[in-house]
Structure formats: C-alpha cells, structure tokens
Structure 1
Amino acid sequence: MQKRTVILMIGIDPAENTKYGVRVSLQLARPQSFRSAGTDSPDTEGKRAVVVSQEGEDAADAIRKIQLSTDRRLFFGHTRAIVIHQQLAKRGVMDMINPLLQSRTTSRETWLFVSQTPARDVLEYTPALDAIPSTYLSNFFENRLLLKHSYEATLGGFHQRLTTPGIQPVAVWIGAADKNLSAPRIHGFAMFRGDRFAGALDQEQSLGWMFVTNQFPKSILAFDCPHHQGGRFTVDVTSVKSRMRVRYEPGRPPQANITVRLRGWIQGGICVQHADRAELSELTRQVKTQVEELVNTSLKQCEAADTDIFGMGRDVYRFSNEDWLGDDAWNHAFARMNTNVKVDVRLQFLQSYTRIQLG
C-alpha cells in the first residue's frame, strides 16, 4: 500500500481571517479500496472525493498545514485542475502556481481556471455526468470541445505564454455552476497582463479570439437571420484558418492585417427556406458580417485592457526584432493598433448533394 493522498484539484481563495493571506482547498481522492464496509461517515458516504481547506500566508504555507493534518503524503501527480479566485488573480498568480511549475510530479497539462465564485465551491460540485469534477473537466478539454489546441488553457501553456515576448497568457474564465449539469459554467477566457488578471472575454468575444488564433474546433454556431427579427440559423463550421501580418515602427500605431477563412455547412433555421443560390449568397454575407464583428469586438476588448493575447507582438519580436522595445512598450502600442479584418466565408447547404458555387 502506497501511503499517498492523491490531489485531484486545487482551489485558491482569498483568506477569510487575514487581509493578504490565502485559503487553499484540495480535492482529495478517497482510497475506497482500503476501506471496509460501514466505515464511511454520514458526510462522506458515497463520495469519491472530499475537499479540505487551510489558510496560510501563501499557497505553499497553506498546503504545508494540510500536509500536517493528514496521515498520508500529498501527491500532485494526478492533479487535473487549478482554480484561482478572480480577486486573487488580480494580484498576480505566479507566487501561487510557481511551486507546482517547479514540481517534478505536477503535470504541465493541468488546467488553469479563474473563477468569479469561490474556488472551493467549484471543487465541491458533483457533475451529473461524472462523480469526480476533475475527471469531468479533463474530459471536456481533452475532447477539444472548447479549444482546438487545449494546451493554451493549461499550467504549462500559461507559463509558456508568460515567458514568450509579445504574447500574454490566458486562462479559462468560469462562474457559478450550471444547474442542469451541476458543473462549472464556462463564461469565456480570462486575460492577463503579465501574471495579473486584466479582464475577460465573454463567450461571443472569445469566438473572435479563437477565430484569429486558429483555436476554434469543429463545432456548430448560430447566426442571426438577415431579415427575420430574432430568427437564427445554424452553421456546422468544419474549419477556420486565419493569417495575421503585423507592421510596427516605434512611435507610430501598429498595423495589422488579419484574414479569416471559414468553411462549413448551413444546417437549418427559420431563414433557411429555399436552399437556392440567392439564399446561399445572402446567408454567406450574413456570416461574413457577423464574424468580422466578433473579431473586431474581441480586438477592442483586448486593446482596452492593454493586453495582447493574440500574439501580434510575438510576430514583431520574431520578424522585426530591431523594433522590439519590450512587452510593456508593446502593450501600450497594441492599445493603438489599426486593424484590417478580412473574412472569407464559403458555405454549402447540408442537404445538397452537389456543391453550389458562388459567382
């Protein structure tokens, strides 16, 4: 028998009893195979994981206190997610995640979340589709339901972006539980300036960022009908590919040209009636217009926060290194970015056996 306590998730909240301390909560797997029948307490009966918390001056201090209160050595090799309260993330997260980054056992593919609600609450959710919240979240990202390249939302992805000139880190932005699934509700993506939380993109704004950074997975999206007020039609997006070119001279606003190519099938909706050439052309124009709006809205949100999560500065650093003056200078320049967005949309009707070509 290995005397280990397996940590599945970590939650970090502001301390309740001190102004600057933190409260660390650990979701621990219960070693059911080592228990005999009838030994469960009423509070833990039937649960596969329990949550324990301690306050400390920092995360390492709180974890040490938890270690001293259990008879097994804490093991972080199976930790699947870290949840940090939004209020704490504004102070900076490196002091909290650095011990895990330096650990030999903690996986760099551990998911990183910023939560509007207390992190301990997230650890205590019991999703309807899985008895262990960490497994539910792991499956969600490993199946690429949210991001095409899920590493961007992990501990390792955060650190990689943080240490790469010209690109700022992101994390998944979550809130209170979805009542139907009893699982964290994903609101969008948290933006960072350095290691400090600087703002967030909601779900629609996140789509613009995902389009530009080639992060959008194959999925179905709904768009507004051109002429039916309140009506929507759905598109099965099969691929999104983008290209970005940035020009920058110190002292002048940067220029960026972004091209987004979207391909997909029109599935249906109230405004899909004739499935003819004219209708296809009209719906294609509508998708093009809305994708442009999504990208521009996302860019404006990032510019307002002075944080380049698109990686435009990375292109300047790589291809015009003589003009690179550092991340701080670039973030201020990024806020004055002049951007030209071009969207190329090619759609087909799902029920058509022959491809309809646009002239």
Structure 2
Amino acid sequence: MNSKWRVLVILVIICVALLAPNTTNVLDELQLMQTIGFDAGDDDDVIGTVGIISYSADKNYQTTTLSAPSDSARHHRIRMDSMTSHPLHAGKLTGILFGADLSERGIFDTLDTYYRDPKVAARAYLAVVDGEAKELLENKYPFQQEEIGYLNRLINHNINRGNLPRTNMHLFMRAFYEKGKDPFLPLLVYTDEYIRIQGLALFKGDKWVDQLNLEQAFFFKLLTDDYETGGLIELPIDENGEQAVLKELRSGKSFSFNIKQQQPSIDIHVRVKARLSEYSGKHLTEGRLKEITAYSEKEMTKRLQKLLNDLQKKKLDPIGFGDQVIHRGPMDIKEWEEIYPEMALNATVSVKIIESGVSQ
C-alpha cells in the first residue's frame, strides 16, 4: 500500500512539472539591453537610446540601437518593447549614460527606475556624456569594435589601472542620499573615431555642476581610493624644465579632524610609493633621485592643496569630509555647511620611489 502511494505522489509531481508554465529565458528569444543612454527632450521629456545585443540560434550576435522620446524612464521601456520583435531584458545591462543637458537638469527621476529594478545590477556603471548619449551610442568608431561592450571595459580599466576613482550606480546613489557627501561620475567625450574618459563630472544633488580633468582626477583619487597598482602622473622637478613620470602607484591616506577648535581644520596626509618610469634629464644618480623625490613631494602637495581649495570655494564635498564629521558628531548637516567653506584644509604628500627602471 505504501509503495502504491509513493508511486502516485511521484506521478503527480511529474505531471505538475510538465504542465507548469515555462518561464526560462532563451537567449535567441530575447534582446539584451547592455547600455542605455538618456538625453533631455522637449519640456520635461527624455530621449532614451538602448544599445541591444541580439543572439541568433547559431550563437552569433549583433548589436543595434533603438531610440524614442518619453515622459519617463518607465514609459520609455514600454515604448522600446513596442519597437522590438522579442522581449527586452535588463539582466545584462552594464551601463547607463546621461547626456550633458539632462545631467544639468537632473538625473534622479530617470535613474531611480533602474535603481529599483532587481534585474539591474547595483554595480552597473553610470557616466555623463559631454554631448549627447544618443549620438555616442549610435556612432560607429573604426578603432573600437562593439562600442557598446567597450564602454564597460573602458571604465573598468581606468578604475583598476588609471586615474578614475571607483564608481558605480550603488556608490552614486549612496552619496546622493548621504548627508555631507556630493556624488560624482566619469565624464566621457567622443569624436568620429573614438570614445575617451575626459575626467570626472561633479554633482550637487542630482545635477551636474562642475568637472575635473584627468590630472585633477589623479589627485582626487588619492583622497577617495587607495592606489594599488595603477595611476600615472607627470611632474616638473626643477626650474630647468626637466620632467619625471611616476606610475604603478601604491598609496594610502589619513585624515585628522580638528573640528572643535576655534579655527576648525582637517589635516590630510597622503603617502605614495611609485616607480619612476621616465626622466628627461641626462643622468640619474642616487643624489638626483633624492632631489626628484623632494620635488615630487612639493609639487604633489601643491596640486592636491589647490584641488581641495577649489572644491571648498565651490562648496562641493565629493570626498565626503562632511559625512565623516557628521558621523563623529555632534554636528548636523546645516552646521557642517556653515563651517566647510571657511575651515582650513591642510594637505601634505610624502613620496617614496621604490624603483627607477627609467627610460631617459
């Protein structure tokens, strides 16, 4: 009797499995959104452009773009679905771009739709385009095959090996919601031949208000991330026009907050170990190497101090000093915003050249 019931239960399970609706997503029945760009349209409309990968039954694929205006990111998704022969799927979405006009107008309403979508990875990259996101995605670049996937690799490479600080959708939204920290994103430019990173777009709330070039981004990254093996900076090392190039950096930082003093201040100390890869002088002696180290410390301290002062004058705090001060207490965001423009920010940089495989 028990064995009969066991057989009956197994048969019921098999029948349920066979009759249940099959929701498996087959690649050749989907169109995968890999990159999406948004630009400002008329009035409050946005123009969305989707970079799509379509797979065929023989596992080949092709990339294409679709574009349409809409009054919201959610309605844009519906418009896009009405233009395709297969369902659009956001599971492979790796990046979201914002054109210059929309970035200046504000990106939160557009971004929030994708931030809340569980199919979209929180680590998807975001970037501002100095121009139109639509044009960047639709252009064909002779030296960059499959530009849709190229953007993800470009940004990751510059984070891991270059001067770009770590950034993604999750980090942007966390800075947006935090009190005492302003968001930032990579800034892209494009020509008829290539796409490149121009620097960093700085935000106040969800609006793009300022930017840093790649050299400034190098010093900015010293304050937000620790270099592990990347980065590159060219420095003048004396009054005779000689130049030195430091690369393959390892860095660390420490902040000392002196907020309760009559003159509030923050002391910033950055430690850099680097390889001297190029030197324009004739001979590199041990004595000259010490002079290069001293000049490097002086020049890097000067440039870092200038960056801090410029951000302070513009009342921008993308490094998040305010967030750290508020968490230490007792100070709220209003008090921080009152003292930040007037407080002393004191930067020092110490440099150690650990290798000098120099090409002269």
> Which of 201, 214, 223 is the aligned partner of 1:212?
223
CA RMSD of aligned residues (A): 2.5
Taking a change above 3 Å as real, the CA distance of residues 163 and 296 of structure 1, as seen in their structure-2 partners, is same
**Which position in structure 1 is the counterpart of 2:198?**
187
2:48 aligns with 24
Distance in 2, matches of 1:282 and 1:176, equals 40
Number of residues of Structure 1 aligned to a counterpart in Structure 2: 329
Aligned mates of 1:136, 1:118 — CA distance in 2:
17
Q: 1:306 aligns with which of 315, 319, 332?
A: 315
One of 314, 327, 340 as aligned partner of 2:346: 340
> Is structure 2 residue 177 aligned with structure 1 residue 138?
no
- Which of the two has higher C-alpha Rg? 2
- TM-score w.r.t. the length of structure 2 is 0.83
- Partner amino acid, structure 2, of 1:13: D
Give the direction of change, closer, same or farther, for the CA distance of 1:20–1:253 in structure 2 (3 Å limit): farther
**Change in 2 beyond 3 A, CA 1:337/1:124:** farther
Question: Per-residue deviation at 1:199?
Answer: 1.0
2:176 is aligned, of 129, 143, 162, to 162
1:14 aligns to 2:40 (yes or no): yes
Judging changes above 3 Å, is the alpha-carbon distance between structure 1 residues 109 and 197 closer, same or farther for their aligned structure 2 residues?
same
- How far apart, in 2, do the equivalents of 1:202 and 1:178 lie? 21
How far apart are residue 255 of structure 1 and its match? 0.9
Q: Does 1:200 align with 2:211?
A: yes
Please point out which of 330, 348, 352 is paired with 1:322: 330
Q: Which moved more, 1:301-310 or 1:212-221?
A: 212-221
- Partner SS for 2:37: strand
SS at match of 1:335: coil
User: What percentage of residue pairs aligned between the two structures are identical?
Assistant: 16
Against the structure 1 CA distance between its residues 68 and 293, is the aligned structure 2 distance closer, same or farther, given a 3 Å change threshold? same
CA contact under 8 A between 1:307 and 1:331: conserved in structure 2? no
Does residue 101 (structure 1) correspond to residue 141 (structure 2)? The answer is: no
Q: Secondary structure, in 3 states, of the residue corresponding to 1:48?
A: strand
Distance in 2, matches of 1:119 and 1:310, equals 27
- Larger mean CA deviation between 25-34 and 194-203 belongs to 25-34
The 1:63–1:331 alpha-carbon spacing in structure 2 relative to 1, beyond 3 Å, is farther
Structure 2 residue identity aligned to 1:159: M
Query: How far did 1:79 drift?
Result: 1.0
Tell me the alpha carbon deviations over residues 258-284 of structure 1, each in whole angstroms, 9 at most, x when there is no partner: 00111122223212x332232112211
Question: Quick one: which amino acid aligns to residue 239 of structure 1?
Answer: R
Instruction: Give the CA deviation at 1:114.
Output: 0.8
- Which sections of structure 2, spanning at least 5 residues, go unmatched? 1-25
Aligned mates of 1:351, 1:203 — CA distance in 2 = 25
Deviation at 1:75, TM superposition (A): 0.9
Quick check: 2:162–2:232 contact (8 Å CA) kept in 1? no
State yes or no: 1:263 paired with 2:273: yes
